[in-house]
Amino acid sequence: MEALIHYNQLSVVYGRKTIDFSLLYCDRKTMEIAVLPDSTVIVKAPVQSDIALIEKKIRKQARWILRQLNYFKQFNPKTPDRCYVNGETHLYLGKQYRLKLVEGPENSVKLSRGFFHITCRSEPTPTAAEKLLKQWYSEKAQLQFVESMDRCWQKFKGLDIGQPIHYANAKKMGQPFRQGHSYP
């Protein structure tokens, strides 16, 4: 229906704020301003529209645009880059747990009393801790998936539907499901 004619990246200053937006010239009669959850602003305008008129309308709608941007910002919490050092917090099933890195007889991760106890055979480094914790998360995710699938699959047992192949094989083999990996 709408044919894209032209595309520009522009910005408008409103008070102390700058509103960056993508301008699309389309085969349409009215102008549309859309604020997306990823904080991008898209303006679709008729093909013959003057840029000054478009900027004027954006300034007129600036309060609404900024309100939408602030609304979406609340759903986008920025997680800081992880360092995998003692005392750093990590999430598991909606709760925060602190890391405790120690040297020990075997590589392992245990969750106990608000801590991820990460034991490394050699000197615990951030790289080793990251590898062990990610492997632990993967194993726990597989267990959560299987339990969740068991609960959901009960609703389909009366129907003449076969069990999903990846789910059945991963459960039977007791291995974590790996995307792109084919099971016999």
- Give the tens place of pLDDT for each residue, 133-166: 999 999 999 888 888 888 888 887 777 777 665 5
The pLDDT score that the predictor gives to residue 164 is: 67
Q: Does residue 30 carry a pLDDT above 90?
A: yes
Token pair belonging to 175 = 């291995």
| pTM of the entire predicted model | 0.53
135 contact partners, CB below 8 Å, separation of at least 6 = 109
Instruction: Encode pLDDT of 111-121 as tens digits.
Output: 999 999 999 99
Task: Count the Cβ atoms, other than its own, within 10 Å of residue 13.
Answer: 11
Instruction: Encode pLDDT of 79-129 as tens digits.
Output: 778 899 999 999 998 899 999 999 999 999 999 999 999 999 999 999 999
Token pair belonging to 114 = 């608000």
Q: Does residue 179 carry a pLDDT above 50?
A: no
What is the overall mean pLDDT for the chain?
A: 84
The pLDDT score that the predictor gives to residue 151 is: 84
Strand partners, 102: 119
Distance between CA atoms of residues 147 and 143, nearest Å: 6
